[in-house]
Amino acid sequence: MAPYETILPQLYEILKPFAQDGQTLSDETELVADLDLDSMKVMEILLEVEERFDISIPLNVIPDVRTIRDFARQIEQLTEHHS
């Protein structure tokens, strides 16, 4: 299981290329509203996260992910199931 504190910085690193100019990412940053991610970009990010953490993210959990914090919590749970 990867703890939340170690997941968060890795998630920032993956999401940084999608941030707007000068935008600072925090765990409250909203993926769609703040980063303006379309469905294609979301899928691209999911694939990268899956590779990084060696998990499969079910499509069912995506509607529950609004902020970077939600995303990190989901990854934490999925790595827990996997370990």
Partner 1 sequence: MALTRLSQDPFRVTIERILSPTEALVNGRPMILAGTNNYLGLTFDPQCIEAAVQAVREQGTGTTGSRMANGSFGGHLALEQELAEFFGRRWCSVFSTGYLANLGVIAALTGPGDVILIDADCHASIYDGCRMSGAEVIRFRHNDTADLHKRLRRLGKRCANTLIIVEGLYSMLGDRAALAEIAAAKREYGAYLLVDEAHSLGVLGERGRGLSEEAGVEDSVDFIVGTFSKSLGATGGFCVSDHPEVDLARYVSRPYIFTASPCPSVIASTRVALHKLQAEPELRVRLWNNARRLYDGLKGLGFSLGPEPSPIIAARFGEKEETIVFWNGLLDQGVYVNMILPPAAPDGGSLLRCSVSAAHTSEQVDRICEAFASVKMALSL
Q: Is 58 in the site for partner 1 (CB under 8 A)?
A: yes
Q: Is 20 in the site for partner 1 (CB under 8 A)?
A: no
Distance CA(50)–CA(56), nearest Å, equals 6
If DSSP codes are grouped into helix, strand and coil, which group holds residue 2? Answer: coil
Q: Is 65 in the site for partner 1 (CB under 8 A)?
A: no
- Phi/psi for 40 (5° steps) reads -65, -40
Given 5, 20, 21, 40, the residue binding partner 1 (CB under 8 A):
40
Binding residues (CB under 8 A) for partner 1: these are: 38-40, 43, 47, 54-60, 82
